[in-house]
Chains A and B, each alone.
Chain A
Amino acid sequence: MAHDVHEHVRTKEEYEYVRRQRAQEMRHMLTSFAMMIFLTLIAFTAVAAGFSTYLIVPIILLLAAIQVVLQLYHFMHLSNKGSGTIAFFMFSGMFVAFIVILTFVTIIWW
């Protein structure tokens, strides 16, 4: 534990390269954000427009799911190298979450 920080000082070229890469990544983030706003708008508009419930519910749930994927993979970097284990646990958590919700909308016995 004592010797886990090994310092690496970048050359000017490396530094410029990393900066450019990060700036580009940030532009991707902005695109994701624009998409999230757009998806939210669609969801709210669809409800406000008053289409049939059976049409709207699956659509807005799908939009929510896409937004979550954008958050997890773009904003939270779940796809980064070395994130395999945590992704496994996160998806296990979502699996259990899904089962719980499925149960409570089907066999809650009312």
Chain B
Amino acid sequence: MDINKKYTPHSWPDHPETATMEGKNKFVGFWLLLAAESVTFASLFATYLALKDKGPSGMEFTAAGLFELPLVFAMTMILLTSSLTSVYAMYHMKNHNFKSMQAWLAVTVLLGATFLGLEIYEFNHYVHLGFGYTNSAFSSAFYTLVGTHGAHVLFGLGWFIALMVRNAKRGLNTYNAPKFFLVSLYWHFIDVVWVFIFTVVYLMGVIG
């Protein structure tokens, strides 16, 4: 594999992410990691469900009393949209249109950062209500589940930015195409987890 090889949209392979052996390996390996991540998040969800609304006697916090849907709705829309913008980025990656890909990735990063900002605001709000991490079994399980997702978002943002900055000057080749592809897969997976979080934690929490 020659990193300095220049491609044109005409010579760009159909599946640049798996055009090299390294790319194929990364592709399969990353999906396997996602399978492991599914079990990781399942363990967190399961624990959350087991500990929901559980606390020391006299605990005043319950999911139904705590969560507010408008903020969660906004966060959901933002994250879903960022999933679409990363699809756009991959569309341009496959067309070997580097500038547009970078632009859509930048939009994705902005949306992801907004999401993360709202999540921090939400956590901060709860902590001010007295619902801290050490408040109860419920609070520990809630912050660990949603916080682990948030940490994944943060890691994803760092990954996006690192790739964009690193490759800003040299454009697309078969060496970095798998990297861009994987981070977008990762981003979709984060979205999948969030779909379950807003359903199981927030919606099912509000109805008690």
Residues of A bordering B, CB below 8 Å = 1, 4-5, 7-10, 15, 18-19, 22, 25-26, 29-30, 33, 36-37, 40, 43-44, 47-48, 50, 53, 56-57, 60-61, 63-64, 67-68, 71-72, 75-76, 85-86, 89-90, 92-94, 96-98, 100-101, 103-105, 108, 110
Give CA–CA (A48, B14) in the complex, Å: 45
Which residues in A have their C-beta under 8 angstroms from that of B77?
37, 40
How many Å from the CB of B53 to the closest CB on chain A? 12
Cross-chain contact B10 with A9 (CB below 8 angstroms): yes
A7 CA / B69 CA spacing, docked (Å): 52
- Please, how many angstroms separate the alpha-carbon atoms of A103 and B198 in the complex? 21
Q: Which B residue sits closest to A108, measured CB to CB?
A: B50
Q: Are A96 and B39 in contact (CB under 8 A)?
A: yes
Contact A104:B188 (CB < 8 A) given known A85-B28, A93-B38: no
Using Cβ atoms and an 8 Å threshold, which residues of chain A touch B174?
5
B195 in contact with A67 (CB, 8 Å): yes
Chain B nearest Cβ from A87, distance in angstroms: 8
* Contact stretch, chosen from B41-49, B112-120, B161-169: B41-49
Residues on A with C-beta less than 8 A from B42 are 96-98, 100-101
Q: In the complex, are the beta carbons of A71 and B192 less than 8 A apart?
A: yes
A-B CB contacts (within 8 Å), total count: 138
Q: Contacts of B50 on A, CB cut-off 8 Å? A: 104-105, 108, 110
Given A5-B19, A97-B41, residue A29 in contact with residue B84 (CB < 8 A): yes
Distance A84 CA – B88 CA, assembled complex (angstroms) = 25
Find the residue from A9, A98, A101 having the highest chain B CB count within 10 A: A101
Chain A to chain B: the 10 pairs with minimum beta-carbon distance, closest first: A97-B42, A93-B35, A104-B46, A86-B31, A93-B38, A64-B199, A33-B84, A9-B11, A101-B46, A104-B50
